[in-house]
Structure 1
């Protein structure tokens, strides 16, 4: 059964889900339900080229897309601690959808990070009630998008190599530099805005269905009032503005760990049902093969350890979210060091597990029909987003000298 056939028609409206979760545990159970649906044809969908519209509809219909939204507007009212767990659960079944979901949640939260109180209230109400799915054209390695000031209007012009969420998004976060200044401006625009063209050119070995192709931004217009955090064309800064990087890096951590968990669980099921003991071993059943048992014990212990670290760092971050207006530079920097440590360990463990599971499966498991390679391809593709040794350097410099990372697009 495909996702389209199995997709619920809506929460509380005769669909698969007739209630909205209210506790973190209930939300995690909901994410597991979604992962179960995603897993049914994950191997086949990994080979597909169509945009994941049904998968995004599933995230919306399950309530996961609005889990951070205010309860009074139909959202889940949950914390980032819970949101990270949901990303991890979704990614166990499909790393691409785990990434799409995580990026969506970051951009959903962007108004909280940068906006004025009035913008935050307006965006969160509209995004929750209308179940917007967010994309973002904010790749910092490309040339800056240029912004022209035309009185009451901002005009964005440029291009970005990557724009995750592109064709499946309802709204897109744009970012650029105001012409003649060094002032960066974020704004949310409809994804069908005139001049915003998404190109179907994402053709990578992994994370194939993240809609991460390039985008052309040809004089896209929006009101100055949508410039996040600006009052009378002047930005209102606070340290909390810079928490976007720790958030997105923890998003990465959690879908890496979700992919690793999916690989390990899928491999264990194959081992239980299909793997044979080696002919020169002294056992008849693969479940008694000491090398196989050791491998699962080793990988599980490593994964549990990094999951625990990720959860601890998420809890630390939630304390910063809870007092956004009083976060200090030192607190932000110390937290980023912890995030960097989690990112480094999650990268290494996820790559080790997704590549190493084949040692417990046997040659027949390399048949493309099983799709075990997708786990490694997905992790390998995204872990190149920013070099992991620079994350270790953040940690090492802090340990040796007390240095804290300067806020950048990657630290």
Structure 2
């Protein structure tokens, strides 16, 4: 086995193998055991982790891995049982996002955004719309992609009798390549309001560019979607109740933030596991340390203590936020602005914690793993690159300002697509 695959595969899968279900490869004589969504994700994550380093170098679309997610049934896990899904709550779905993100943050990202798009049609659309799309997604194993990006206003919409035309471009369209459905948005050319719609990715006029070549999250295909006179039927527009129109509809950005938080936490956990493996198996003690192994170095032990305390704090805050989100989701149209505001604060706090400990570990992991950990074939820098790329799309300083504003004035964050 080549050195790169051997070392990187071992390090990426250490945690996952320890936590995988016992029947990853059941023999023919063993009775079939129904796996939970988390067990399915753990099994898939073992395989995803072994190729994550090589795929990070390649970039592009993780086609085989996306197809594995399709056949796993996990794309329907957040869909209610009555509409063909697994009926998982959001805490369970986010646990899978984190599990996949720990193996490969790109896959955790696109998987989470798939479920965010499903939540978008539920929160912004009417019951006949989301029920139909839920059932078709579960039946046909559809993957949903994102072309919403409300900050990119290059796409405009013109109205015609019974339909609208969308034209323009959208950037940062995570998961759009190799998807069956897209959530797209455009500004009404007359009213200036934001219109959001659900359309098939293969519709005439939609072109998904293969132009994503950033330093991190290299297999999220977060490139450009071009809309050239795309016909959008009125029944595909999500206008009842519409974007951010009620406290319940305003849960959409909070789910997006929770997906990112779990992705960031997965990156931090993965970096921790890789650093731990290298410290225990490859690193050498400093010549003046007076110890025989790196695991006995008090400075290294102190840093691991800080890593663990930070991860535990972020995990507890993230899980608390997910539980509060589930409680708010169950309230549906009865959800109040204050209740939504409490969830927003919990999510923002968790995101700050996950981001800060993630950056700490992704940077300081080399202090505890040693100079040999910088070998190019290991690509251990990918953890920092992935976290740095993703967090720039929603500056942490503004999350801290929102939390500070509530702390001083008891004013909840104003609902937007980012808070």
1:239 equivalent in alignment to 2:247: yes
- 1:284 match: secondary structure: coil
Would you say the 8 A contact 1:202–1:211 is kept in 2? Answer: yes
* SS of match in other structure, 1:40: helix
Q: How far does residue 74 in structure 1 lie from its aligned partner after superposition? A: 4.0
Instruction: Find out whether 1:189 has 2:190 as its counterpart.
Output: no
Match of 2:367 in 1: 359
Name 1:221's counterpart in structure 2. Answer: 231
Q: Does 1:340 align with 2:360?
A: no
What is the CA–CA distance in structure 1 between the aligned matches of 2:322 and 2:244, rounded to whole Å?
Answer: 27
Residue aligned with 2:60, SS:
coil
Give me the whole-angstrom Cα distance separating, in 2, the residues matched to 1:50 and 1:176: 26
Q: Find the aligned partners of 2:60 and 2:260 in 1 and give their Cα distance.
A: 24
Is the counterpart of residue 53 in structure 1 residue 63 in structure 2? yes
Residue of 122, 136, 143 corresponding to 2:132 = 122
Indicate the SS of the match to 1:323.
helix
Aligned length, in residue pairs: 393
State yes or no: 1:66 paired with 2:76.
yes
> C-alpha separation between the residues in 2 aligned to 1:18 and 1:332?
42
1:293 is matched with 301
- What root-mean-square deviation, in Å, do the aligned CA atoms of Structure 1 and Structure 2 show? 2.1
CA distance in 1, matches of 2:99, 2:412: 32
TM-score normalized by the length of structure 2: 0.89
Give CA deviations for 1:120-141 in whole Å, capped at 9, x if unaligned. 2111111111111111111122
Deviations 1:335-364 (A, max 9, x none): 212211111111111111111111111111
Structure 1 distance, partners of 2:244, 2:292, is 69
Q: Distance in 2 between matches of 1:301 and 1:58?
A: 34
Q: Deviation of residue 373 (structure 1)?
A: 0.6
What pairs with 1:110-149 in structure 2 (closer than 5 Å)? Answer: 110-149=120-159
Q: Does residue 208 in structure 1 map to residue 218 in structure 2?
A: yes
Residues 1:265 and 2:251 are matched in the alignment: no
- What stretches of structure 2 of length at least 5 have no aligned partner? 10-27
Q: Deviations over 1:96-152 (max 9, x none)?
A: 111111111100211211111111211111111111111111112212521122111
1:405 counterpart residue number? 413
2:60–2:212 Cα contact (<8 Å) kept: no
Superposition misfits of 4+ residues, deviation over 4 angstroms: 17-20, 234-237
Is this contact kept in 2: 1:152–1:223, CA < 8 A?
yes
**Is the Cα–Cα contact under 8 Å of residues 300 and 368 in structure 2 kept in the other structure?**
yes
With structure 1 as the length reference, what TM-score do the two structures score?
0.91
Contact 1:338–1:395 at 8 Å: present in 2 too? Answer: no
Which residue of structure 2 aligns with residue 11 of structure 1?
none
Query: Which residue does 2:168 correspond to in 1?
Result: 158
Cα pair distance change 1:220/1:407, threshold 3 Å: same
| In structure 2, distance between residues paired with 1:235 and 1:296 | 44
Whole-Å Cα distance in 2 between the matches of residues 288 and 300 of structure 1? 17
